[in-house]
Structure formats: structure tokens, C-alpha cells
Chain A
């Protein structure tokens, strides 16, 4: 057996006085130049310094040479360590690919007692059971989930309102745990629910089986109740009471909330954040509205554009940073995901910001009727009559057929950002992702025309804003480092 040993010190010394370029990309930003290496490590250079770099005129004793070497933008001629480290970091960045598919979404019912105008799942009436998933389809969904090579399996129950078919949730949880005795995977469960139908029996089951709850909270009562009509007009009151009961029964970390941004949200970001704080929720995801489902039918999506949402996001982030300066622990999750990509070699796996895209290989959806979709957004498109992201059916298709289907591979391959027009040159690409469903929904193909893409415009603006704060606001920098390190 061979024994590893440390290499000689000379192995780490520069081979000559000259430096060589390593692969990097750049973008000009207000007179400065952002430079990112192969794995997204970056620094911002003054214009004249960048010209010296580009023209290979930087003196070898320049302090900037040390910084550029530290970021693996250049190497001393003959130096091998940067190549090994870059390879290691690239492998770390893409390691999730060997762990597909981690998130399995079971749409246990399309029924819902809410009638939200923007609802992304195009809900069906509550008073019919034809929109519930059958036990047979659920078991086939479990077959598919446990066929996945991922060592971690999360099963998320969605709707409609999944609590309307809670009996099936109980059965799926029991069977999944039983099957996992043989598989030994790290198994987790989440119910995405509006909490309006929460009962003590449901809470008891969740406590006994370790389920997590993800709910919706759009902000203050009037805004939430306007967004989420239901009989009694008490959606907010039920959600807030539900959050309190879940925390009491399961623990404070067992419930999280997601907000949906509507036109009515745009001028009220402080109130929305305050509502989260008052309920003891220490993080918020400032999300844009998605161009799917009822948001299109009711024209909610076109009600405001990317720029207005960006104003909302920037104002919300500024408020959250101010709260952190005052000692209040509050996180903005979208920024947190991006900062983790910017400041670490970790890939947080947020499906909207990964490349290859997260469809199918990051998350997969088993619809109530047994049809399989590459993503929740793909399911929403199907509800609008477009089956482009339909991968097959639980009753007829095998795992191999689903995962090698052209319906999955074509959008994955075509949208891969390092090969996409403009993305392949873009210095922000390591922070970004490809979203073939979004681009298909908005422009009719999996790639989209990037200069006209709101996805691109929005993400670029966020990246620039975060970088600006990181470099010019010491307090924000400290907060960002904390978020990225979590």
C-alpha cells in the first residue's frame, strides 16, 4: 500500500518570474471591471489595472499579482497548485449532479379551499375528489423516488391544498419510512400548506414523524387576505394561528414561510418584513412573481415589470441590512443563496439558480393524476395546456425512461449556461443559473434571448447590487459573510 506524504516545498514555488493567464471572464461595471475565474471566485479591478492584466503588462512584483494569483486568475509560469485547486473547486461546485434527484414533489390533491388570483397551480374546486392522487400513484411515486441515486431524499407534499388529502400523506410517510429501512437514505418530509385546515391530529402525526411545514405568508393581514381569498376571508388569521400552533407542537424551526409578491406588495416591503419579524420568522424570501398558472390567466404577471420588482427587492434588502446593523437577526434568502455562490465554493442547489438546470435532476413532480413533470413550473404550464415539460406517467414509464427522456435532456442540454449565448461570456455566470421553463414560458424556447430576458436582467441587477454592497458597505459585508457561511 502506498503512503501519502507531503510534497516538497519546491513543488509550491513559482517556476519562473513570469505569470500566465488562467481561464477567466470579465464585465465592466461603472468604470471598474469584475473578473471571475473558472469557479466564480472574483475581484473587482480598476480600469487601468484591468488593461494591464489584459495586455499582460502587470509587473510581477505588483501587489495586484498576488491578489490575482490568490483568486486563480493568473498563475506563475509552471505553477501546478492553482490547476489542482481549480479542479477541486470545480468538482465541488458540480458534485450535486451525482446526487440527483433529491426533491420529490407529490401533488396529493389539486383541490383547494382558497381561490388566489395568481395561484401557480391553477387550483380546482374543493368539492370533487377527482383531483386527488390515488394510493396506487403514490406508491409508484415512491418507487421512483427510491430509485433515485441521491443519498438524501426529501418528499414534499403540495397541492392545491395537500391537507385536503392528509390520509394519503400519512400513508406515503409510513411507506417511505418502511422502504427506507432497506435504502438507508437521509429522508425528510415537508408539507406545503396554507395551514387553514390544520388540526391537532395532523400536528400530532407531524410531530411523531418529524415532518416540516412550509406555509405562505404574504405580509400584513389585509394584503395576505386580498391575495388569498377564501370563505370567511380569514386566510391570514388561520396562517398566523397555524404558525403559532406548529411552533408550539413541533418546535420553532419546523415551520417556514414563503411570500408571493403581487402588485399590492410593491410599496409595502417594510410592513411585510415587520410582519415576519413579529411572528418570530427570522428570514424572508423576496420572490418575484412567476409567469405561470393563474398569474398569466388573471394578468397578475404582467401587472408590473422587472424594474419595479427590483426596487421592491432593493428596498427590502436595505431594510433587512439596517435591522442587522441594529442587532436583529434577519436573513433575506434569495440574497443568501446568491452570496453562497459568490463567496464560497458551495452550490446551494436552489433550482432556479443552477446550471445545469434543476429540472428533473434537482426536483421532480408527481402530479395528482400520475403524470410526471420536470418541475413545479412545468406542471403549471401543463395546467395551461402546454405539456412540453411532461416527462411521462407513473403508470407506464420507468425511472430510466423518465431520466433519459428527450423531454428532460433537451432543455437541460440546450439551456446549460456555460454553453448558452451570452452566458458563456458572462462574468456573472458562476453566480447564475439556467431556467429553461421560465424562458420557454416567456420566449418560446429553452434558452431565450438573454438581452431581452427579465430573468437575465433581474439576476444581473441583483448580482451588481450585492457586489456593490459587499465592496462598499463594511456592515453589509459582515452580514453577507454570515449569510454565505450558513
Chain B
């Protein structure tokens, strides 16, 4: 078996409270870690369960800790995106529009 094959016996189960971490945030974190874990996500009403299977010989404890931090960061990114999305859209609209339809006063 190649050394990069997933090791099911080392699978780690993580639970995230659904009210603090969205499925999207967990999925984005899982993608960032796809070179270290394969991830199965089981969404729930109150808890999202995450099954992480290490790929290759990663330092599981350290990487799991990093994964938890990454989920927190993704949750924060989600909040920043939501809060700044209207402004981002306005800025880009103004940047690429020469029509004058975007009134700077509306951006205040």
C-alpha cells in the first residue's frame, strides 16, 4: 500500500456546534487541509460531525488543532464577507463602470 493511502484506523471525529460553525466554513477548512486529511462531513441540526482521516504520516494532533483553528478562521471570514459584501460590490461596480450609474453618495 502506498504511504499516502488514508489510514482509517487513525480517523478523528470532530463535532462543531451548528450555531457557531456553518457547513460552508467547515467545508472551506476541509479543502485547505485536503493534502493532510480526507474529510467526511455529516451535517446535523445542532451538530456538524467531521470525520478526518489522515493522509500520509502527518502529525495528527497538531494538524487537528490547526484544523479547529481553521474552522474558526473560516467562520470569521464568512462574517467579514457577509458584512462587507455590499461595499465590495459597490467598489467593484464603481471601478468598472463608466456609466455614472453608481452615485458615490449611495456608498456612504
Contacts and interface: CB of A to CB of B under 8 A. Distances in A.
Interface string B18-43: 00000000001001111110000000
Given A21-B80, A80-B108, A91-B95, A425 B28 contact: yes
Which range contains the number of B residues in contact with the other chain? 20 to 34
A207 to B, nearest CB: 43
Interface stretch (A82-90, A124-132, A291-299, A384-392): A82-90
Contact of B88 (A38, A80, A422, A425): A38
A80 B91 contact: no
B90 interface: yes
Contact of B91 (A54, A90, A422, A451): A90
A287 interface: no
Interface stretch (A23-31, A322-330, A349-357): A23-31
Contacts of B91: 23, 38, 83, 86-87, 90
B100 interface: no
A79 B104 CA distance: 11
A23 B80 contact: yes
B33, B95, B107 pick with most chain A CB within 10 angstroms: B95
Interface stretch (B8-16, B44-52, B70-78): B70-78
Which range contains the number of A residues in contact with the other chain? 20 to 34
B101 interface: no
A21 B84 contact: yes
A90 B104 contact: no
A464 interface: no
B87 interface: yes
Interface in A409-449: 421-422, 425, 449
Contact of B87 (A83, A421, A425, A449): A83
Interface in A428-486: 449-452
A188 interface: no
A22 interface: yes
A449 B91 CA distance: 30
Interface string A6-39: 0000000001000001111110100000000010
Nearest to B79: A54
Interface of A: 15, 21-26, 28, 38, 54, 78-80, 83-84, 86-88, 90-91, 94, 421-422, 425, 449-452
20 contacts: A23-B88, A25-B77, A28-B69, A79-B108, A80-B104, A80-B105, A83-B107, A84-B104, A86-B91, A90-B92, A90-B95, A421-B28, A421-B31, A422-B28, A422-B31, A449-B34, A450-B31, A450-B32, A451-B32, A451-B35
Interface of B: 28, 31-36, 69, 73-74, 76-77, 80-81, 83-85, 87-88, 90-92, 94-96, 104-105, 107-108
